[in-house]
Each structure stands twice: as C-alpha cells, then as structure tokens.
Amino acid sequence: MKKSNFDFLMVLGFILFFASCKDESNDSIDEETNKAKITFKKDSVLKNQDFDTIIDNKKVSLYWIESDSIKVAFTNYGGRIAGLWVPDKNGEMTDVVVGMSSIDGFINSTEPYFGATIGRVGNRIAKGKFSIDGIEYSAPRNNGENSLHGGKKGFQYVVWDAEKPDKKTLVLKYISEDMEEGFPGNLEVTVTYSVDKDQSLKMEYRATTDKKTPVNLTNHAFFNLNGEGSGSILNHQVKFFAKKFTPVDKGLIPTGELRNVQETPFDFTEFHKIGERINTENTQLEYGKGYDHNFVLDENTTDDLMHAAVVIGDESGIKMDLFTEEPGIQFYSGNFMEGKNEFKSGAADEFRTAFAIETQHFPDAPNQENFPSIILNPGDEYHTVSKYRFSIAELEN
C-alpha cells in the first residue's frame, strides 16, 4: 500500500473514532447553545446510604435534582436542602448551601433549621399566642418567651412524602393535623422544588385547610456563596430592594413600626458588605446580635415576582438573585453559629460562616393589625413562589 493511502486511512480512522466517542465525553457540546455542558458527578461527600433510614415509621432518603449547571441534594427529613452546587467564576462547581453529610448529622445538630422547609408559621409569634375569631390559641414557646418556626416540632422535624416526577423536580407533601403544635385545622401542604436552565432553584408552596389557621411557609437554607467551609460571609456584598424594615424588641418581636432604612446600618438599597456596619453601635443590631430582621420589600415585579435581593460572593464571584411573591425577607447573618456542628465539607459551623435570606410574611403577623395577614381560610389555597437564581457577576468594590 502506498504511504499516501495509508495516511488517508489513518486520518479517516481517527475521525470515525472521535465521532463515535462524542456522546461519551464529559464535556459534550450543546448544539443549541454551542457551549460546553457541565457534567455533574454525585458528590462523594453525600452518599445515599448515609441518609437511608426510618423516622416516625416513614422512609427517609436522599434526593437529587439537577439541570445543566445546577444540582441540589435534599432529604425528606425536614424537607431539607443538603447541598446546592453551581459554577463559580472559574467554572468550578461550588456548594453554596451548608449542610451535614448524613441524616444523623442533621438529627443531632444543635442548629435545627439547616436547609429546612419551615412551617406551619415561619418566624416568631409573640409568647406563642394568637387569636382567630375570638378564640385564643397557643403554640409552644421554643425561643425564649416566643414561638419560632412552627414550635418545638415544626416542619423541620417531620418526614415529608417525596416524589420525583422528573430529574429536575422534587415534590414534598405533608399533612399537619388539627392542633398539631397548637395550630387549628388539618393543613395539607405541598412544596415543589425545581431547577431550570436559567440556573435557578424555584420553591413553590401550596396549602389548604379545613379551619382558619395561620400559614407562613419558607425555606431556611444557610448560604455561603464562596462555598461551604470557606470561612466568614462578612465580605459578601448585599443589596436589598427594601426601603423599610420592621424594628424589634429585645425578644426580636416586631414593634409594629415600618421604619425607613435610610441613614441606618439596615440600608442595603445599594451594595454593602455584610460586615461593613454590623458592629456599629445600634440598638437593633444589639438586639439581634447582628442582622436578624425582616425587610419590607418594595413593590416591583420581574416575571411576576418581586426582585427581593442580590448577594455576591467576594471570592467566588457567584451572584444570587432572589425573587418572590412574599412581602418580606428575613436576613440572618449567622449570629448564633457556634462551631458545634460539622458540615459535610469537614468545616465547623463557626460564627457567621453562613447567612440566610428567608422569603416570608412579616414576623408575629397574627398579632400585628397593620401587617399583611397570614390567616388561611377553608376553601382558599395558600400559594406562593420564590426563586433563587445564580450567575457570575463583576465583584463590587
């Protein structure tokens, strides 16, 4: 055989070989966008067998949902987000939600709310008491004199029924029985978590009841946009679309006032670092031991949702935009983290190494006449949507 024919056959062979391997490549090309897809591998720290157990005679498992550039792990114990991976400015997959590496880690954690779905009433109710149609009800006091996040056994401690209709969606259901934790009515709750091609995590909440009852559902994910275990969140940059907040008393119960944030450490209408003013001499910061306050969102709409907040990780460049139908957000700067628990990365939950932004109606709403009501009536449906969207941003100075 002539050399030229041999060379031609060799080249043709290589072409056919690589063509046959195209679908097996970890960096396959998306023909629609002409961009390399990110191929996820199940994170070695989270193993399904470490979450497989029985609690309250119900099966507990680990669940994954994912799209091209975002992956989220859940456990149906407490409806918890166990981890959330998105690419940083270098394309490295980064886990931006802190959590534990096993079900035992969540059960034994001194912080009960890591990643949890919260209910029946998120945030605080003063002295655990509220009235509906002249009847007084009492929820357990589990936060000093007050009830917090649904009482002693809120939704963070229950096992949700879970279903995955497709790889991008997880549906959680729970029936909270009449007078559970002191709340009237049988409440049927459905929470749908889904991811989309815009690199977002959508949270859709629905509930119905057979008696009037207060309902304020949310998720208590703790974020560090530089990645779990990367240290302090104080250099994260934050912007809120909120010109007012609800000041609180020493027990962190709102006074009823809607106070302007202007010329206070609560003014995040332009970007500020979380730690920039957190040690300012201020009574509200003193009460919260930092930020632990509800912000009143401005009326604005983007795709039928209000743009609530923007947070940027100072090292990763990861930008998180938060959209919601709720009137408020609770901003918590990790003030009570004490290093007593070990995250899946091996890092301890040290002081202010994660923050939370919870979409919500205002705290103590059943006892505050000028706050939007959270009472759900029989025959009505509670329905609200929030979305956390991730991207890469230019770092602010």
Residue numbers annotated as active site:
220, 358
Which residue carries 């114990």 as its tokens?
77
Q: Enumerate residues 6+ apart whose C-beta is below 8 A from 166.
A: none
Q: Enumerate residues 6+ apart whose C-beta is below 8 A from 101.
A: 45, 46, 47, 50, 342, 343, 344
Nearest Cα to 227, choosing from 99, 40, 48?
99
Tokens of 67: 């799209």
CA distances in angstroms from 8 to 3, 17, 21, 194, listed in the order given:
9, 14, 20, 50
Q: Which residues are paired to 35 by β-bridges?
A: 30
Nearest Cα to 197, choosing from 97, 321, 68?
68
Nearest Cα to 394, choosing from 302, 271, 245?
271
Nearest-5° Cα angle at 121, 116 to 122? 50
First vs last Cα of the chain: how many Å apart? 67
Q: Tell me which DSSP letter residue 10 carries.
A: H
Cα 373 to Cα 364: distance, rounded to the nearest angstrom: 10
Q: Which residues are paired to 86 by β-bridges?
A: 94
Element (H, E) at 242: none
> Is the peptide bond prior to 120 cis by the omega test (within 30 degrees of 0)?
yes
Which residue carries 């063509």 as its tokens?
19
Inter-residue contact 161 to 172 (CB < 8 Å): yes
Tokens of 238: 């934050």
Residues 160, 332, 389, 70, CA torsion sign: negative
Q: Which residues are paired to 121 by β-bridges?
A: 216
Q: Tell me which DSSP letter residue 395 carries.
A: P
Which residue carries 């792990």 as its tokens?
73
